[in-house]
């Protein structure tokens, strides 16, 4: 009799542990577009009342929520890809609106990298290991600065005449 009780008790403990692990795995994920939007807004440091949501979609094939919104006060466009199963932000992109500058001057690659370092808080030394090239894109001169840090790949667009960051994004590097 005592042996049966021990077996039943062991089975009960195992069942409770499996249920707890399943609940914690579920809690780590994202279960709705609304929850994904809240996670993206928290990451951006914004409140829902301060933005206009332009896209909120779930790709069931990839298990990814795609969230896009615009900050009402300045037109910054945010785009996120968030894993439904883990709740991890897989990709983030921010497009910053800029005022046209007719000047053909360029700040230079070194200055562009330094602007990215200051803006991102990532060391200039790390950014210097990546690439930086000038391109004329959509009627404006832009330095495209790309680099890796940890498990992320970053890309920044820096307006060549002024050094203003006009777009940036990062994505997780799949290993």
* 152 and 130 part of one domain: yes
What pLDDT, on a 0 to 100 scale, did the predictor assign at position 73? Answer: 86
161 and 115 within one domain: yes
Q: Is the pTM of this model over 0.75?
A: no
What's the whole-number average pLDDT of the chain? 83
Q: pLDDT: is 56 or 24 the higher one?
A: 56
Residues 164 and 115 placed together within one structural domain of the fold: yes
Most confident of 21-25, 74-78, 144-148: 144-148
Confidence band, pLDDT 50/70/90 cuts, at residue 106? confident
Query: Per-residue confidence at 144, pLDDT binned at 50, 70, 90?
Result: very high
- Residues 62, 91, single domain; the answer is yes
**Is 104 within a domain?**
no
Q: What is the CATH number of the domain that holds 118?
A: 3.10.450.40
How many whole angstroms separate alpha carbon 142 and alpha carbon 123?
A: 21
For residues 65 and 89, state if they share a domain: yes
Question: pLDDT (tens digit, 9 = 90+) per residue, 45-64?
Answer: 999 999 999 889 999 888 99
Split into its structural domains, the chain has a count of: 3
pLDDT for residue 69 is more than 50:
yes
102 inside domain: no
**Cα dist. 61→29, 40, 84 in Å?**
16, 21, 11
DSSP 27: H
For residues 46 and 22, membership in a common domain is answered with no
One domain for residues 22 and 38: no
Nearest C-alpha neighbor of 120 from the set 100, 98, 83, 146:
146
Last residue of a domain, one of 95, 130, 149: 95
Interval 84-96 mean pLDDT = 91
pLDDT band at 12 (very low <50, low <70, confident <90, very high): very low
Domain span at residue 160 reads 109-172
Residue 114 lies in a domain: yes
Domain identity same for 90 and 135? no
């Amino acid at each position: 009799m005592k042996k049966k009780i021990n077996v039943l008790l062991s089975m009960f403990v195992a069942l409770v542990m499996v249920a707890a692990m399943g609940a914690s795995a579920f809690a780590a994920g994202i279960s709705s577009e609304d929850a994904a939007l809240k996670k993206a807004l928290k990451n951006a440091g914004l409140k829902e009342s301060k933005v206009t949501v332009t896209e909120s979609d779930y790709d069931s094939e990839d298990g990814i929520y795609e969230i896009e919104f615009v900050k009402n006060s300045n037109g910054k466009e945010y785009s996120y890809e968030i894993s439904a199963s883990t709740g991890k932000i897989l990709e983030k992109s921010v497009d910053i609106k800029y005022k046209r500058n007719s000047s053909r001057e360029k700040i230079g690659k070194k200055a562009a990298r330094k602007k990215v370092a200051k803006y991102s808080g990532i060391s200039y030394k790390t950014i210097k290991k990546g690439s930086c090239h000038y391109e004329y894109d959509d009627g404006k001169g832009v330095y495209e600065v790309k680099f890796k840090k940890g498990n992320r790949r970053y890309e920044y667009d820096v307006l060549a005449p002024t050094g203003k960051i006009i777009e940036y994004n990062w994505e997780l590097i799949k290993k």
